[in-house]
Amino acid sequence: MFRKRGEEPRPGMKLNREWTTGESIATGKVGAREPVAVSGATEVVAPVPVLRPALGPETSVTGRLSFTMPTRIDGKLRGEVHATELLLIGEQGYVEGIVRTPKLVVLGEVRGEVRGAERVEIGSGGRIMGSIETISLVVQEGGCLDGDCRIAPARGNVHVLRPVPASGG
C-alpha cells in the first residue's frame, strides 16, 4: 500500500500523527513504508517505526518489563522497564521506577530514574520527577523536569592508561 505525499490514505492504511521525534507513525502494519513523491514519481524510503501499545490506559502492572521494538505505554507501571528501542510514555501513562532505554519520549509521567539514554524528550504536559542520565535532553514548552539531570557526552572508545614499569638496572 503506497501513496503519494498529500494523497488521502486508502481504506486499511490508517495514518496517525504521533509525537515521537517528529516522525509520522503508521498504525496497522509493522514495517510499513512511507513513500515520498519526487518529481512526479513515487520513491520508497525507509520503514516508518510502528509503536506497539504494550499497556493500555486501564492496565496496571508491578514488576519488570522488557521490549525489543518501539513501544508505547499508556497504563501504570511500578517497577523497571527496559527497552532496546524507542519507548513512549503516553498522555495517560505513568511509570514509577527505573527506565532503561536509548530513546525516551514522555507525554505522561515518570517518577524514578532514567538511565543510559541517548535521547530523552519531555513533551508539553509530560513530567519526569527523579534523575536522568542522558546524552541529549529536550524539554518542550509545558513539559516538566523536577530532579537531577546528568548530560554525558557520547561514549567513544575507552582507553585505559597503565603506568609503564620502570626498567631495573
Question: What is the 8-class DSSP label of residue 126?
Answer: -
- CA nearest to 69, candidates 95, 98, 101, 94: 101
Distances, alpha carbon 39 to alpha carbons 2, 5, 6, 9, 80, in Å: 16, 12, 14, 20, 48
What pLDDT band is residue 121 in, cutting at 50, 70 and 90? very high
In this structure, the number of other CB atoms found within 10 A of the CB of residue 96 comes to: 16
In whole angstroms, give the CA distance from residue 72 to residue 106. Answer: 10
Kindly state the cell numbers that stand for 113: 530514574
Phi-psi region of 165 (alpha: psi -120 to 50; beta: other; left: phi over 0): beta
- Give the residue with greater pLDDT, 63 vs 12: 63
What pLDDT band is residue 166 in, cutting at 50, 70 and 90? confident
**Across 133-162, average pLDDT:** 84
In whole angstroms, give the CA distance from residue 151 to residue 111. Answer: 18
Q: ∠ CA 17-22-25 to the nearest 5 degrees?
A: 40
The pLDDT assigned to 35 comes to 46
Stretch among 45-54, 66-75, 87-96, 120-129 having the lowest mean pLDDT: 45-54
Q: How deeply is 89 buried, as exposed, middle or buried, from its count of CB atoms within 10 A (0-12, 13-18, 19+)?
A: buried
8 Å CB contact between 54 and 65: yes
Q: How deeply is 75 buried, as exposed, middle or buried, from its count of CB atoms within 10 A (0-12, 13-18, 19+)?
A: buried
The 10s digit of each residue's pLDDT in 1-49 is: 444 445 555 555 444 444 444 433 333 333 444 444 444 554 555 555 6
Kindly state the cell numbers that stand for 14: 490508517
Does residue 56 sit in helix, strand or coil? coil
Stretch among 89-93, 123-127, 136-140, 154-158 having the lowest mean pLDDT: 154-158
Kindly state the cell numbers that stand for 2: 503506497
Q: Name the average pLDDT for the chain.
A: 76
